[in-house]
Amino acid sequence: MSYDEKCQLLIIGDSTVGKTSILGRYANNIFNSNYLATIGLDNFTKDENIDGKNVRIKIWDTAGQEKFQSLTKSFFHNAQGIMVVYDVTNSETYQNIKYWTQSIKTYMGNEIAKIAVIIIGNKIDSNEREVNKNEAEAFCSELGYPYFETSAKTGKNVNSTIKYLVREVLKKNNLNKTKSFN
């Protein structure tokens, strides 16, 4: 399928928060309850019709275990939108949101105004929730980023959340520049 626009996103966050699962649900509508750690970098592509435009959405999946150690500055500069994910059943991953958003700032520098960033609390299907929704919302609003909650397991909010981010990227009119991951 041909496309009108290309949108390059990045998903980051601690290990096991469900980054790969969110992308598996979004791109292929699958969920695997077995944990298979992402090694290095992976990517998922999906074409979507967004407000009458065919958009090729490419999402780079990173390994939480490596944090940013193996990721280069130029890698961040190619992202048009970033999802920072934590696990609502694991408060430590919530505490680390600050680390991830701070890292985006450090790596993006002045470019940060050109990209869209959202924060996602995943695993809301679980009854072992540790992080309160209102508290997370208030915290993210203080940081200045929109907050969403998803379940990769049931699929709840996954598509709408990613579509929100794509729309924000389109709005920022950041597409079709000479940006490419190849």
User: In terms of CB distance, is 32 or 72 closer to ligand GTP?
Assistant: 32
Cβ contacts of residue 121 below 8 Å, gap of 6+?
85, 86, 87, 88, 94, 131, 133, 136, 147, 148, 149, 150
Q: Which does 25 bind (CB under 5 to 8 A by kind): Mg ion, ligand GTP, none?
A: none
Binding mask 141-160 for ligand GTP (x = CB under 6 A): ----------xxx-------
* Residue 91 within binding range of Mg ion, rule CB under 5 A: no
Please select the residue that binds ligand GTP; options are 8, 9, 21, 174, rule is CB under 6 A. Answer: 21
* Residue 38 within binding range of Mg ion, rule CB under 5 A: yes
* Separation of alpha carbons 74 and 72, rounded Å: 5
- Do the Cβ atoms of 71 and 62 come closer than 8 Å? yes
The residue behind tokens 């915290």 is 139
Residues at the contact surface with Mg ion, assessed by CB under 5 A: 19-20, 38
Query: Where does this chain bind ligand GTP (CB under 6 A)?
Result: 15-21, 32-35, 37-38, 63-65, 122-123, 125-126, 151-153
